[in-house]
C-alpha cells in the first residue's frame, strides 16, 4: 500500500513539475485560423514559423472545439477586412493631405 502511495506522490510531483515547466516556457495563445478560431492552446513562447530553434510544444486546452468559435469566425474576419479597408482609406487621405500641404508650401515660396 505504501509503494502505491509513494508512486502516486511521485507522479503528482512529476505532473506539478511539468505544469510549472509549461507555465515558464509556454504562452497561452488563441487560434485565429478559420477552422480552429477562438480555441485556446499552450505553445512554446519562442515559436516562429521560420525558426527551427524553438521547441514544437503544442497542446489544446479544450478537449473539443466549441461551435461558437466557428460561428463567429466569419463575422470577425469580415470586421477585420472592413477595418483593413478603413486603414487603407485613412492612409490614402493622409497621403493626399500631405501632398496638398507640400503644394501649398511650394506656392507660398514661389509667391515670395
Cα-to-chain-centroid distance, residue 33 = 10
CA distance 102 to 92: 15
Is the overall model pTM greater than 0.85, yes or no?
no
Q: Structural domain boundaries of the chain? A: 1-64, 66-112
pLDDT of 67-89, one tens digit each? 666 677 778 888 889 999 999 99
pLDDT at 62 over 90: no
CA distance 73 to 36: 9
pLDDT band at 5 (very low <50, low <70, confident <90, very high): very low
DSSP 8-class letter at 91: H
CA Rg, the chain, in Å? 27
Amino acid at each position: 500500500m505504501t509503494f502505491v502511495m509513494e508512486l502516486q506522490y511521485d507522479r503528482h510531483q512529476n505532473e506539478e513539475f511539468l505544469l510549472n515547466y509549461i507555465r515558464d516556457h509556454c504562452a497561452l495563445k488563441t487560434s485565429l485560423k478559420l477552422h480552429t478560431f477562438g480555441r485556446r492552446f499552450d505553445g512554446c513562447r519562442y515559436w516562429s514559423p521560420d525558426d527551427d530553434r524553438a521547441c514544437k510544444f503544442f497542446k489544446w486546452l479544450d478537449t473539443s472545439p466549441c461551435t461558437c468559435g466557428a460561428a463567429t469566425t466569419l463575422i470577425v474576419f469580415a470586421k477585420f477586412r472592413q477595418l483593413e479597408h478603413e486603414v487603407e482609406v485613412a492612409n490614402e487621405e493622409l497621403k493626399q493631405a500631405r501632398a496638398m500641404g507640400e503644394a501649398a508650401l511650394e506656392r507660398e515660396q514661389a509667391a515670395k
